[in-house]
DNA sequence: AATTATACTTACCCAAAGGAGAGTATTGCG
DNA sequence: CGCAATACTCTCCTTTGGGTAAGTATAATT
């Protein structure tokens, strides 16, 4: 989808009395699409609670992730202004990653979703079982 | 990754003094992976502000989506206990969708992310431009 | 001289996501 | 009779996601 010029209705803007500009809506939808990705959420959460970390440290803390996905996700987050990358010109290279203010604010926004997931895990599993045996 | 048996560090549990059970962590991560999907977020937001809607009504309100993705996402949300599907046995079929309590609570949790996106759109675009011209 | 450590990049490949479009069942209406 | 409306489902096809493995640069260590 990406550059979707067609208008989308209202969303939050309408329910809060702001301008329901369809172009802004499209951009927000697009931004959500980029940001609402599993690895981004996990890295955001990790960096939020652990502060500054280096590449391999992150890799070890997130077992499921491949090197490729880690670099890719970190790069995209850096491009979007959510993480700050610091390269130290030392013998075995050393690179530190930490959240920017923007990254922290997104991390806080996602925090609600993490808490929801923790709280409603059983509820969802139960709903699934009920649905499946029908 | 899905069923990832390896332990993941703490996440929110640690930063809030709860039990840092790696199995729960894995489940939460998995749940996040399922729920943090673009269409799910959009439908959640839409149904939260518009209440009960029928299939084509939703389709019209979310221009980028294909019929396939709409049915698929709604089915998954229904299975996860987030939406309630009501079929009216009438001549041209009529099906209504509305959020359950669980769905509403997730919608509220995601609300923070929508607001963040609305607020930080410019910030992100600016960061991207700065990053790209380097 | 070979090995190690770090933070990557590149190439190749497979599987899953997702779009387009046609098909289906039902019944009232012209 | 045949068409329209609704809410799908099914098939085919392209795109993207993501894994694995190998390669790279550099200086300290053995």
- DSSP state string for chain B: --S--S----THHHHTTS---HHHHHHHHHHHHHH--HHHHHHHHHHHHH-SEEHHHHHHHSTT--HHHHHHHHHHHHHTTSEEEEEE--SS-EEEEEE-HHHHHHHHHHHHHHHHHHHHHHHHHHHHHHHH--
Maximum C-alpha span of chain A: 61
User: A22-35 and B101-132 are packed helices; what angle lies between their axes, rounded to 10 degrees?
Assistant: 90
**C-alpha span between B47 and B44 (Å, rounded):** 5
Query: Which pLDDT tens digit goes with each residue over A36-66?
Result: 888 998 999 999 999 999 999 999 999 889 9
A123 touches strand D (CB under 7 A): no
| Statement: residue B43 has pLDDT above 90 | yes
pLDDT digits (tens, 9 = 90+) for A89-131: 898 999 999 999 999 999 999 889 889 988 999 999 999 999 9
Q: Is residue B73 over pLDDT 90?
A: yes
Q: Dihedral of CA A101/A70/B12/B35: which sign? A: positive
Flag whether residue A133 sits within 8 Å of chain B, measured between CB atoms.
no
Token representation of residue B9:
């560090």
pTM: 0.83
A123 inside 8 A of chain B by CB:
yes
Write out the two tokens for A50.
């652990």
- Categorize the per-residue pLDDT at B79 as very low, low, confident or very high, splitting at 50, 70 and 90: very high
Does the beta carbon of B28 lie under 8 angstroms from any beta carbon of chain A? yes
The answer to whether the CB atoms of A105 and B118 lie below 8 A apart is: no
Q: Give me the half-sphere count of Cα atoms (radius 13 Å) on the Cβ side of residue A57.
A: 12
Q: What is the pLDDT of residue A25?
A: 75
E strand or H helix at A54, and its extent? strand A53-54
Check CB contact under 8 Å for A36 and B36.
yes
Residue B8 has pLDDT above 60, yes or no: no
Walk across the sheet containing A83-88 and list its strands. A53-54, A94-99, A83-88
By Cβ distance, the residue of B28, B81, B123 closest to A81 is B123
Least confident of A84-93, B22-31, B74-83, B101-110: B22-31
Three-state DSSP class for A87? strand
pLDDT class of B20 with cuts at 50, 70, 90: low
User: Is pLDDT above 80 for B41?
Assistant: yes
């Amino acid at each position: 989808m990406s550059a979707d010029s067609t208008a989308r209705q209202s969303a939050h803007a309408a329910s809060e009395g702001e301008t329901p500009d369809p172009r802004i809506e499209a951009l927000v939808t697009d931004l959500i699409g980029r940001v609402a990705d599993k690895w981004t959420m996990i890295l955001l959460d990790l960096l939020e609670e652990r502060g500054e970390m280096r590449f391999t440290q992150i890799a070890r803390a997130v077992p499921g992730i491949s090197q490729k996905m880690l670099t890719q996700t970190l790069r995209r987050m850096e491009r979007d202004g959510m993480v700050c990358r610091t390269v130290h010109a030392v013998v075995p290279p050393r690179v530190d990653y930490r959240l920017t203010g923007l990254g922290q604010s997104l991390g806080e926004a996602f925090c609600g979703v993490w808490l929801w997931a923790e709280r409603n895990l059983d509820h969802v599993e139960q709903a699934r079982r009920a649905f499946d045996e029908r």
